[in-house]
Amino acid sequence: MRTLAPPLLLLGLLTWFVAACAAPDPVAEATATVLVEPWVMVDVFSGRPNPEWTMDSREIDAVRALLTTLPAAESAPPAAEGRLGMRGFRLGALWIEDQPVMIEVPVEGDILTVTAPDGTRRYLSDTSGLLYELLVAHASDHLTPALYRLIFDSHLNARSNCCATLPSFDGRFHL
């Protein structure tokens, strides 16, 4: 019996090892199947977390529809490093052309940066600032009144002629 113990022990350990390696990793499976919902982040704070929200289907549809109308930009936007205060919006996990992309929408300028998962970037021209205006409009549903006012004021300062066609403004865009 003693001569069988080491081979049986070795066989048992080998069986256990093979079973452990073949067993699916529940954490990896959960991570692989989690779909991140499209989100918007307001790039406004330095030194504390920026506010963000998950986009609802109405917001997603509006952003996608608008993006399809924007032409390619001829160049990348200028660097906005070191700027304090409202810098713009970032949109993430938004599926465009069968891949999740991140979109940077600056408060100043009219060039949007679209970054693919592999890091490649392309640029879209939004000379009228329509995507920024759309995001400001949706922000009112997700932010405190004081923070919304800061974002809206930054928007007006950066694009002083953006709202000239609006009749009296009650603090909200109506979509």
Which distant-in-sequence residues (6+ apart) come within 8 Å of 162 by Cβ? 129, 133, 155, 156
Beta bridge partners of 84: none
HEC secondary structure over 137-150? HHHCCCCCHHHHHH
Q: Judge if pTM exceeds 0.75.
A: no
Residue 170 near residue 148 (C-beta atoms within 8 A): no
Tens-level pLDDT at each residue, the chain (175 residues): 556 566 655 555 555 555 555 545 444 444 444 558 999 999 999 889 999 999 999 999 999 999 999 999 999 998 766 678 889 999 999 998 888 999 999 988 799 999 999 999 999 999 999 999 999 999 999 999 999 998 888 877 776 644 444 334 444 444 4
pLDDT of residue 117: 93
